[in-house]
Structure 1
Amino acid sequence: MIDWKNIEADDCAVPSDRPMGDLVRELSRALADPDPLVRDGAPYTVLATWIARGTIGTERRLELGDEMATRFTDPRVEARTFAPLVLDMLVTAGDFKAGWVDAFERWYPAERDLRGHDGTLGWLHAVAHGADLLASLGHRPEVAPVRMLDLAAARLTAPTSHVYDQMEDDRLARAIARVLTRTDLSERDAVGWLEPIADRFGTDNISGPMPAHISNCLRTLRLLHILADRGVRPTSELPAEPLHHRDAVKSAVATVLDRIVKR
């Protein structure tokens, strides 16, 4: 087995004694390993570095993306939830296939295991990892931004008993805000995705404790309102970008929040 820690320590230099195809296949397996020290350790760093540097050829990167799209149906949660991380690496590097969007769209709102962290499996982060991919896809010219906004709404309205506890609401709000910086968004599309949220949660009759799905939605929209006011940074090194139709978005988010709270 390849010692990925040594490769990471050597500035991710490519081993000369193994074909690239074998290396990528082993990295792909490592990114689905149930051992968090393997899945989220040196193999992750090496794969991210090789993709960013263009070390892996285009054809092999597209094959890797296809494998990740298939992995959304894997029976193991750690395999499913790390697939969007790899796809995000690829999309950020410039790779894209329409089938990846279709597979992601089927998985994201349907995923039921929303734990951020597990004592044995380590980081899972389905919502947060999916949010990162949603933001990247939302900036691809091939993907209509409203499609990613509707997908975010579908994730927020999907039933769950899990309360976000690892800043998933922040990651999802930032992803939505990044999509909302698209200047080709009409005002109608910039706010229309909120309607199913208002319809779903504004009519719920709650007599006991706050349900998890409503709590998650409220916290996500609260941060989105702040980002609409102040803008969102694509990365920590770049300045904040304004949301397109920011005033309309702020007003629509505030209206939905008010409707949910007063239900």
Structure 2
Amino acid sequence: MTDWDVIEANGCAVPADRRLDDLVGELSLALADPDPLVRDGTPYSVLATWIERGVIPEARRLELGDEMAARFGHPEVQARTFAPLVLDMLVARGDLRSAWVDAFERWYPGETDLRGRDAGLGWLHAAAHGADLLARLGLRPEVAPERMLALAAARLTAPTTYVFDQLEDDRLARAIGRVLTRPDLSERQAVGWLDAVEVRFGADSIATPVPAEVTNCLRTLRLLYVLADRGVRADQDAVPLPLREAVKSRLAQVLDRIVRR
């Protein structure tokens, strides 16, 4: 088995006596491993470095992306929830296939295991990892921004028993905010995704105690309101929303409707 600690210590140089394709295959498997020290340890950082530096050829990166897209259907939760992290690396490098977006769109609102962390499996973070990929895709010109906004609404309104407790609401709010910085968004596109939230949670028929998904949604939208007002941080600078006032006004309407239901 490859000693990834040694590879990292050597500046992530590819060992001269190993085939790169074999090493990438091993890394792909490592990022589905139930052992968090394997999945979220040195193999993760080596793969991220190789993708960022372009060590892995484009053809192999596209194959890796296809593997991650297929992994959204994996029976083990840690395999599913680490797939968006790898896809995020690839999209950041400039790689993208429409099939990856389709697979992500099917998985994200349908994932039922939203636990941030498990005592044995370590970090899972489906909602947060998915949010990161949603933001990355939502900033790509090939992806319609309203598609990612609708996907965020679908995730927020999907039934769950898990109340976000590992800053998932922050990650999702920031992801939505980043998509809302797109300069090509129309006003209708920037606020239209909130209609589904209002329809789902604005009705008087919602039961008490308050369902977990309502709590998650309220927390996310409240932070999003702050981001709409102050700007969404990208690196060191806060990027303003082009349709700041329209987004704030619609957020206020929906939040008021939910809390007054």
Identify the TM-score tier after normalising by the shorter chain: over 0.9
TM-score by length of 2: 0.99
Aligned to 1:20: 20
1:146 is aligned to 2:146: yes
> Which one-letter code corresponds to 1:150 in the other structure?
A
Task: Give the match for residue 254 of structure 1.
Answer: 252
Normalising by structure 1, we get a TM-score of: 0.98
1:207: how far off?
Answer: 5.0
In structure 2, the residue matched to 1:191 is 191
Distance in 2 between residues matched to 1:131 and 1:255, nearest whole Å: 24
2: CA distance, partners of 1:240 / 1:17: 46
Aligned length: 261
Identity %: 72
Change (3 A) 1:23 1:229: same
Structure 2 residue matching 1:156: 3-state secondary structure: helix
**Partners of 1:179 and 1:148 in 2: how far apart?**
8
- Aligned AA (1:190): A
Distance 2:90 2:79 in 1: 17
**Where does residue 165 of structure 1 map in the other structure?**
165
- 1:20-69 Cα offsets, whole Å, 9 max, x none, are 10010000000000000000000000000100011100000000000000
Residue 6 (structure 1) shift: 1.3
CA distance in 2, matches of 1:156, 1:101: 18
2:137 alignment partner AA = L
Q: Which amino acid aligns with 2:27?
A: L
- Partner AA of 1:157 in structure 2: T
Cα distance in 1 for partners of 2:15, 2:141 equals 36
Measured in 2, the distance between the counterparts of 1:243 and 1:26 equals 42
Q: 1:244 matched to which residue of 2?
A: 242
Instruction: Give the corresponding residue for 1:111.
Output: 111
Query: What residue number does 2:8 align with?
Result: 8
Q: Which runs of 4+ in 1 moved over 4 A?
A: none
Gapped regions of structure 2 (runs ≥ 5): none
Question: Aligned with 1:233: secondary structure?
Answer: strand
Range 13-22 or range 118-127, more displaced: 13-22
- Give me the whole-angstrom Cα distance separating, in 2, the residues matched to 1:16 and 1:220: 48
Alignment of 1:42-191 (within 5 A): 42-191=42-191
- The residue that corresponds to 1:37 in the other structure is 37
**Distance of aligned partners of 1:233 and 1:75 in 2 relative to their CA distance in 1, 3 Å threshold:** same
